[in-house]
Structure 1
Amino acid sequence: MGPCWRCGSLGTWCVFGAQTALRCGLLLGLLALCACLEEKCILGIMGQPVLLPCLQPQITSSVNVTIEWRRGEDLVLRSTWRADGVVEEWSLDGAATPPDAPLTGNLSLQLPGPEPTTRRLRYSLRVASQENQSAELCSVCLQTAASFSSPLLRMEAAALPGGETAFWCHASGGFPEPAVFWLVDGGAAPEGSVSTWAAPLPDSHRYNVTSRLALNVSGDASVACVVQNPSTNETLTSMHGGAKVTGGPVVTSRAAEAMWIFSTALCAVVGVLVTVGVVYQIHLDRMSKRKKQEFQKQQNRGNKKKRRLEEEEEEVKLERKETDV
């Protein structure tokens, strides 16, 4: 049995473990639903300008306004609009807002190149004016990535000791570190046959990745090297069939589509479970309320009967007094 509560004059009633489990399930369901609805980040490609959107047309009527873009707590840009129309702007690493921002309310932040990091960066815009000293108007999430080059797949001409054949796969210039796997005749490569190395490029946060596959394979076998970058939602594939490299790099989104379908189905299931749980909880509350009303009615009936008996006793006493007199 689960925990017990005392509710007024109804006495003690217990909620069994099933109801407690239901409440826990509802809480977990809500958490999962929040995870499904997690805010999407803007994808910034390394080496390319990225725009963090923020439109506030109502600010065009303000004067003597100072806007500040921050990355976390670090100041990235400060722009002051004076009443005489002069705009004074300071920025870090070439960040800028549109020149006509005071006229259009377009306060979007343009970054010349996003900072390479595996963390999600939070940019926020705040406005300081005479009316409002610290009002946050925009908040934008930024995620950094870079695409890898098309994988180069080659087979070593000389066989290894034991008759094994070696295949090499190389891709470069991407971020963050990718996932690499091999397919042999459409199936996963045997365990222990793959070795992969990822190394950062000199003076850069980008990666070069090299992978080696060694196994006994027939001459007409199909071998594929797959490089996945989840941040850019890219899957690059190079295939080797027999003595000739066929196909070449192919960008496919099957894995991403499958993940999207799974996430959507999960959100739908969680939504149904939450709805069912809420309806069931409402049903339990109604039953509890009905029982409480019935109990109160029974108490009222008992009180009426008790008062009636007392009145009858009073009448009998009065008759006895009159008789004695």
Structure 2
Amino acid sequence: MSVMLAVVLWRSGLLLSFLTACVCLERDCVLGVVGRPVSLPCSLSPPPTPANVTIEWRRDEDVVLRSEWTQDGGQVDGWSVNGASIAAEAVLTGNMSLQLDTVQPSEDTEYYGLFMVSGENHTSLCSVCLRAAASFSLPLLQREEAEQGDETAFLCHSSGGFPEPSVYWLINNTEEPTGGSVSTLAASLPDSHLYNVTSHLKVNISKDANVSCVIENPTMNQTLTSTSYGVKAETVIGRASQAMWIFSTALCVVVGVMVIVGVAYQINLDRVSKRKKKEYHQYMSRRPKRRPSREEETQTMKPQSRETDV
């Protein structure tokens, strides 16, 4: 019995040690953002003796950089792939860090190692873990109101991230939906290997409930949330009353403006009419009077004959 207990404890301890080692490896990984350069640190102290030194940086079993150095620290030969490089004075300073021009999603959890090559012998000097990650876009959340008694449908979409994220839903920012159906699809794009994620939710909730879609990318320490806010009945009534008040106010303003314009137009007409009458009277008063003719004067001076009966 004691032997079996010892075996169980030994296996448990071994499993715990393995898990601890895995956690440490994950924690020691260098985070590289997809599409950006990254530096894989490696510092040797003391620096290697620069006497016909040949070094190699490898990704798993593939050589990504090889360089040969002379006794005075000068590089005599070397090559690399995908723009990998190290500092020109690396052997003299001991800074053997590997510079990568860009990080690809295919390099997620890749192990890079620095080796010193001497004939057939390869001496390991550094080992670095690289994890690739990319941020997701802010989730686009759409809400489709259902008829009375039916389930309300929600669609959440986010794109351009890496690795595959976790997606979950919240009702009123606290509780996960119960009794509803959730379907989530994360698709890796063939060219970029980035992920697009789409999640559907169907749930029977009231119209005033708030529904949130949450996208989590632990590698980037990123949590994105989009919320669809419900509409309360009081809010609807308040908005209708507000709209009616705005319409009434606008109508009163329009009528008032029309009245003011009409009065101003009538006043202007009266002024124009008075001015024309005044100008006419002034014109008539200034007009020269016509002098009577000679015949008219003679007739005026000639006495009128009176007829008498004898």
TM-score of the aligned structures, taking structure 2 as reference length: 0.66
Query: Quick check: 1:42 aligned with 2:30?
Result: yes
Q: 1:110-156: per-residue Cα shift (whole Å, max 9, x none)? A: 112223238521111101248x9421100111122211112122322
User: RMSD of the alignment, in Å?
Assistant: 2.4
CA distance in 1, matches of 2:59, 2:131: 12
CA distance in 2, matches of 1:52, 1:150: 30
| Shift in Å, 1:199 | 2.3
Query: Quick check: 1:167 aligned with 2:135?
Result: no
Segments of 4+ moved more than 3 angstroms: none
Structure number, greater radius of gyration: 2
Q: 1:166-196: per-residue Cα shift (whole Å, max 9, x none)? A: 2221111101221211111321223552122
> In structure 2, do the counterparts of structure 1 residues 82 and 243 end up closer, same or farther at CA, with 3 Å as the change threshold?
farther
Q: 2:56 aligns with which of 61, 68, 85?
A: 68
> In structure 2, do the counterparts of structure 1 residues 97 and 161 end up closer, same or farther at CA, with 3 Å as the change threshold?
farther
Aligned to 1:250: none
Aligned to 1:82: 70
CA distance in 2, matches of 1:167, 1:243: 15
Q: 1:269-323: per-residue Cα shift (whole Å, max 9, x none)? A: xxxxxxxxxxxxxxxxxxxxxxxxxxxxxxxxxxxxxxxxxxxxxxxxxxxxxxx
Query: Quick check: 1:141 aligned with 2:129?
Result: yes
CA distance in 1, matches of 2:147, 2:162: 33
Aligned to 2:114: 125
Secondary structure of the residue that 2:105 maps to in structure 1?
coil
TM-score of the aligned structures, taking structure 1 as reference length: 0.63
CA distance in 1, matches of 2:56, 2:10: 41
Aligned to 2:218: 230
Greater relative CO (CA pairs within 8 A, separation 6+): 1
Which stretches in structure 2 are left out of the alignment for 5+ residues?
233-310
| Shift in Å, 1:27 | 3.0
Where do residues 226-265 of structure 1 align in structure 2 (5 Å cutoff)? 226-243=214-231
Secondary structure of the residue that 1:150 maps to in structure 2?
coil
| Shift in Å, 1:59 | 2.9
Which stretches in structure 1 are left out of the alignment for 5+ residues?
1-16, 245-325
Query: Quick check: 1:207 aligned with 2:225?
Result: no
